[in-house]
Amino acid sequence: MSWTARSGRTGRRCSDKGRPVNRAYGGRTLGPLPRGSVFQDCVERRRRFEAEQTGVTIVTPARPDDRWRAILPLGVLPDDGTTIGARSLCDLMDKLDALYPSSR
């Protein structure tokens, strides 16, 4: 194995694509981290939403495999549901925006 097959100064093995391998969760690659204006836009949307809708709690994922969740008051979702989820924060914010139209 050559030095290029290792992760930076740490010497940890990388995947074939040069990304660090997350051994704690089955050896899958972590993939590129979300960066830039799209991710920042979702964070800003979350901040504004939480300021406007105090009855909704957004729960961050505890592990990389988990989903973003929002706990809603009774009566918002059909069938007495109180929780919706999504794989990304942007997808969750899209769902919440559909349920709670913006007051602007």
Looking at residue 77, its pLDDT comes to 87
Do residues 51 and 85 share a domain?
Answer: yes
What's the number of domains the chain is made of? 2
Average pLDDT of adjacent 10-residue blocks, the chain of 104 residues: 48 54 52 60 92 93 91 88 92 92 63
Q: Where are the beta strands (DSSP E) in 51-98?
A: 57-59, 68-71, 83-86
Looking at residue 69, its pLDDT comes to 96
* Residues 81 and 70 sit within 8 Å (Cβ to Cβ): no
Looking at residue 103, its pLDDT comes to 52
* Residues 11 and 1 sit within 8 Å (Cβ to Cβ): no
User: Would residue 104 count as lying in a domain?
Assistant: no
Tokens encoding 23: 């051994």
Contacts of 96 (CB under 8 A, 6+ apart): 49, 53, 56, 70, 84
Do residues 41 and 71 share a domain?
Answer: yes
User: Would residue 50 count as lying in a domain?
Assistant: yes
Looking at residue 58, its pLDDT comes to 95
Tokens encoding 53: 């809708």
